[in-house]
Amino acid sequence: MTAGTSDIEKAAGVLRAGGLVAFPTETVYGLGANAEDSAAVTRVFRAKGRPPTHPLIVHIGGAEHLADWVEEVPATARLLAEHFWPGPLTLVLRRGRRVPLETTGGLETVAVRVPDHPVALALLSAFGGGVAAPSANRFGSVSPTTAQHVRAELGDAVDFVLDGGPCEVGVESTIVDATGDTASVLRPGGVTREDLEAVLGRRLEVHSTSRVRVPGQHPSHYAPSARVVLVEPEKVVVEAELAQELGHQVGVLLPPSFADAAVKAHAVVSVPDSMAAYARGLYGFLRELDQRGCDLIVASLPVEQGLGLAIANRLRRAAGPRPS
């Protein structure tokens, strides 16, 4: 059931009272708190089990409000905001005074975006302020793309869940460091590198492995309970069957070119051919394989173009070592 007007009013009231609201965006569901309320923001970190040094994204209702949240809006940031907002793009800029350090994890920069989802925009409009929100999952695990995922994962830790149906994009926003003259990508996501480069008229650097600039990007993110093993596409079937023979409960993300193969494994998901459909389904597939009792997931990386870059980034993170 998609949230109605009374749900939006109720959710805005929860935010004003310092509570936590999970809400849909076009990328994934967010776990929101009043971005200017340090105590509420601290509750977000606690609910997620997230270290307080991992900064949150501030969601705002429109590009016209950007200047209220940052120290300055450089020309590149303005251009990108005008082109891609509302949409799956997050801009990192110098922190405005009203943003508490709790929200930015102690950084002098702040991440801001305008989500492209009617329920999120209605919530931001009813609330009137900025909503600090990470993805609404426990730290390190798979991001939620439905309200059911949020409830299953966070339960009572969230005061109110707005249901807006399944997320359209399915992977998180692209994060661009726009503090200087030369913007760079800190996390690939829903807006493709190619689309950013077309608007900027130049090549963009992708620093997606940097741990310093984006602490939330260290390995073990976006991970299901099952261990994820990445192999070449043509080895997926043979590796999966070998692991199954060795006693694993194997889940397979079967590449499109092998969609007709009969695989002797515990559970098989045929990956869609379209990158948009793959991105939309990715986190749901990982959750499904967990639910079906798989302890090992065999997958391959898509071609790293367009949305394939973000999908490959998430699969690599999911296959990385677990938090120590």
User: For residues 29-48, which are near ligand TXA according to CB under 6 A?
Assistant: 30
Backbone dihedral angles phi then psi of residue 200, each to the nearest 5 degrees: -80, -20
Between 71 and 241, CB nearer to ligand TXA? 71
Report how many residues bind Mg ion under the rule CB under 5 A: 1
Q: What is the SS3 assignment for 55? A: coil
Is 313 a binding residue for ligand TXA by CB under 6 A? The answer is: no
Q: Are 239 and 217 in contact (CB under 8 A)?
A: no
Residue 175 binding: pick among Mg ion, ligand TXA, none (C-beta 5-8 Å cut-off by kind): ligand TXA
Is 146 a binding residue for ligand TXA by CB under 6 A? The answer is: no
> Closest distance between Mg ion and the C-beta of residue 310, in Å?
13
Per the listing, tokens 């499904």 go with: 288
> Closest distance between Mg ion and the C-beta of residue 139, in Å?
8
How many other C-beta atoms lie within 10 A of the C-beta of residue 83?
16
Q: Are 297 and 226 in contact (CB under 8 A)?
A: yes
User: For residues 88-127, which are near ligand TXA according to CB under 6 A?
Assistant: 88, 90, 92, 104, 107, 109-111, 115
Between 110 and 294, CB nearer to ligand TXA? 110
Between 113 and 266, CB nearer to Mg ion? 113
Helix (H) or strand (E) holding 6: helix 5-16
User: For residues 168-187, which are near ligand TXA according to CB under 6 A?
Assistant: 172-173, 175, 186-187
Is 90 a binding residue for Mg ion by CB under 5 A? The answer is: no
Is 25 a binding residue for ligand TXA by CB under 6 A? The answer is: yes
Find the largest Cα–Cα distance for the chain. 59
User: For residues 235-294, which are near ligand TXA according to CB under 6 A?
Assistant: none
DSSP 142-199: PPPSSHHHHHHHHGGGSSEE----S-SS-SPPEEEE-SSSS-EEEE--SS-HHHHHHH
How many other C-beta atoms lie within 10 A of the C-beta of residue 17?
11
User: In the set 3, 47, 91, 214, which binds ligand TXA (CB under 6 A)?
Assistant: 214
Is 135 a binding residue for Mg ion by CB under 5 A? The answer is: yes
User: In the set 13, 52, 96, 215, which binds ligand TXA (CB under 6 A)?
Assistant: 215
* Cis bond upstream, residue 215 (ω within 30): no
The residues, ordered by sequence, that sit 6+ positions from 319 with a Cβ below 8 Å of its Cβ are 223, 227, 228, 229, 230, 299
User: For residues 52-71, which are near ligand TXA according to CB under 6 A?
Assistant: 54-57
Q: What b-and-e string marks burial along 256-270, b requiring 16 or more CB atoms within 10 Å of the CB?
A: eebeeeebebbbbbb
Span from 9-17, 75-83, 210-218, 279-287 in contact with ligand TXA (CB under 6 A): 210-218
The residues, ordered by sequence, that sit 6+ positions from 4 with a Cβ below 8 Å of its Cβ are none
Q: Are 160 and 24 in contact (CB under 8 A)?
A: no
User: In the set 146, 184, 217, 313, which binds ligand TXA (CB under 6 A)?
Assistant: 217
> Closest distance between ligand TXA and the C-beta of residue 179, in Å?
9
> Closest distance between ligand TXA and the C-beta of residue 285, in Å?
18
DSSP state, residue 107: -
Residues in contact with ligand TXA by CB under 6 A are: 25, 27-28, 30, 54-57, 88, 90, 92, 104, 107, 109-111, 115, 133-135, 172-173, 175, 186-187, 213-217
Residues in contact with Mg ion by CB under 5 A are: 135
